[in-house]
Amino acid sequence: MAATSSYDVVVLGYGVAGAAAALQVAQSGAKVLVVEKSSTGGGNSFVSSANMTCPQDFQAAMEKDGAARFTDYLEESTQHTTPREVIAAFTKGLYEIESWLKELGGELEDSKYDKMYVLISAVS
């Protein structure tokens, strides 16, 4: 008879999004199974080198206006094809991700990309 297992959550794909989802639900006490089609994880994260773009003084921007200028920038970058509410939620998530990554023991590295933005990459 084949062995069976049960899980609270099954995450499909082990790129950055899949890893973040798995970590978040595991931290809440759920039993998680991650399924990845490739022999190693990473997904599209390899293409981006796990970088993400954020305003240079993101915390101050969030406290001042909810990072409205950055939301405007992203809305323009997507040629207004993504609803503003979705972009605003994404922007809010960017604000929260730095402390979440640090809580997990990750380190962040700032690299000056231009005067308005910082490229933040997780260092393994």
Distance separating alpha carbons of residues 86 and 43, to the nearest angstrom: 22
Buried (b) or exposed (e) across 8-19, using 16+ Cβ within 10 A? Answer: eeebebbbbebb
Domain ranges of the chain: 1-47, 49-124
CA angle 85, 87, 91 (to 5 degrees): 115
Q: What is the pLDDT of residue 53?
A: 67
H or E stretch covering 10: strand 9-12
pLDDT at 121: 36
Give the model's pLDDT for residue 24: 87
pLDDT at 111: 56
The SS3 of residue 123 is strand
Q: What is the pLDDT of residue 55?
A: 64
pTM score: 0.57
Q: What was the pLDDT predicted at 29?
A: 94
**Model pLDDT, residue 6:** 95
Each residue's pLDDT expressed in tens, for the chain with a length of 124 residues: 566 889 999 999 988 788 888 988 998 999 999 998 888 777 777 666 666 666 667 677 777 777 788 888 889 989 999 999 999 998 888 878 777 777 877 766 665 544 333 333 333 3
DSSP 8-state class, residue 2: -
